[in-house]
Amino acid sequence: MNVAEALCGNGMVTVLANYRLSPQVRHPEHSKDAARALTWVYQNIQKFGGDPQRMHLMGHSAGAHLLAYIMSNQQWILHQDDPREEGSGESAGGGGVPGLAAAARAVRAL
């Protein structure tokens, strides 16, 4: 079972977004794809039972780096209601493979 299936199976609204890869596109199109996906989810998550004020974002490898990049650069947030300004403004943090393994254990414990 993957992480998304485990989260969804435990009643959490789960969204898997993708982005185009090189050589199909060149930088900064990857960032635009990820920012558009995040914007769409933020603006539409309530239609699927989610709460835009309680979104938890995660990625793996290049996806995690891309997510960190667009969330730390104002130019990539494409909507007026910036999700970074909502909620506590705190981050749970990030990590490499050990952090990913801990996340997988937490999901299995659900």
What residue segments make up the domains of the chain, in order of their start?
Answer: 3-108
User: How much is the pLDDT for 45?
Assistant: 94
Q: Taking a C-beta distance cutoff of 8 angstroms, is the pair 7, 14 a contact?
A: yes
Alpha helices in 20-91 (DSSP H): 29-44, 62-71
Helix (H, G, I), strand (E, B) or coil at 50: coil
Query: pLDDT by residue for the chain (110 residues), tens digit each?
Result: 588 888 888 899 999 999 999 999 999 999 999 999 998 999 999 999 999 888 888 888 899 999 888 888 877 765 444 444 444 344 444 444 445 455 556 656 66
Q: What pTM was estimated for this model as a whole?
A: 0.68
Q: Residue 47: which residues within 8 A CB-CB, separation 6 or more?
A: none
The pLDDT, as a whole number, for residue 24 is 95
Burial class (CB in 10 A: 0-12, 13-18, 19+), 35: buried
Which pLDDT score, from 0 to 100, does residue 19 have? 94
Tell me: cis bond preceding 28? Omega within 30 of 0 counts.
yes
